[in-house]
Homo-oligomer: A and B are copies of this chain.
C-alpha cells in the first residue's frame, strides 16, 4: 500500500461516487466540520464521514493519510477562519481582547479539532500571520521588545489553553457533561458548613460561576497586569513585588 494519498493539486481524474458526489479535499474538510458542528463530539468517524459524503469510508484514504492528517487540515482551516475576520482598530487593549475572544469562540465551535490542534506549532501561513499581528499590536502600544514577547507568549498560550480546556468540556459525551454540571449543584452545593465552611459560604456564587468559561475574566486580568507594566515602563519607578519572580521554567523541550 505505502502511498495511496495524492496531493490535491495533482489530481486529474475526478470520478463521482456511487451516490453521485465528486470528492475533493475541500469538500471532505467542510463536511467534517459540518458533521462536528451538527452532531457533536463523537460524530466524526471515518465511517460516518464517508456516509455523509455518500462515499465508501476507505475512499477518504485517497485524500488523507489517516484521521490525524484529516484533523490537521481541519485545524488549518479553523485558524484561517478566525484570522480572516479580525479587523484591528489601533487600540491595543481592545484589539487583544477582541482577538482573544474571537479565537476562543471559533475554537469552541469545533471542540475536538481544537483539542487535537491547539498545542501544535504548525509554522504555516496563518499561524505566522497571527504572530506578526499580535507582536505588532504590542510593539505599537509601546511595549519594549522583551516585554512584548513575554506578553505575547502569555496571551497566546492562555487563549489556546483555555480554548482547549473549554473545548474538552464541550467535546464530552452528553452524559458526562451533565454529570459535571450536576457535580456542582448536587455535590458542592450540599456540603455542610461545618466540614467545608468556604464552599458552603460561597455555594450559590460558585455554582453560577463554574458553569461558564473562566477565559473572559482571565483575559481581563492579564490585560490589566499588562497595562500596569506598560505604565511602569513609561514612568519608571520601583517595580511591583513579584513582577519578575524567579520561578522554574519548563526547560528546553
Say whether, besides A101-B247, A165-B118, A222-B218, A205 and B149 are in contact (CB < 8 Å): yes
Kindly list chain B residues whose C-beta atoms are within 8 Å of the C-beta of A135: 198-199, 202, 206
Which residue of chain B lies nearest to A173 when distances are taken between CB atoms in the complex?
Answer: B68
Interface size class of A (residues with CB under 8 A): 35 or more
Residues of B within 8 A of A199 (CB): 128, 131-132, 135
- A206: B residues at CB distance < 8 A: 131, 135, 149
Q: How many copies does the complex hold?
A: 2
B253 touches A101 (CB 8 A): no
Separation of A128 and B224 alpha carbons in the complex (Å): 30
- Give complex CA distance A49, B229 in Å: 50
Q: Is the CB of B253 within 8 A of A214?
A: no
Residue of B nearest to A184 (CB): B121
The 3 A-B pairs at the shortest CB distance, nearest first, are namely A119-B168, A123-B183, A221-B225
| Residues of A near any B CB (own CB < 8 A) | 68, 93, 97, 101, 105, 108, 118-123, 128, 131-132, 135-136, 139, 145-146, 148-150, 153-154, 156-158, 160-162, 164-166, 168-170, 172-173, 176-177, 179-181, 183-184, 186-188, 191, 196-199, 201-202, 205-206, 209-226, 228, 240, 242-243, 245, 247-253
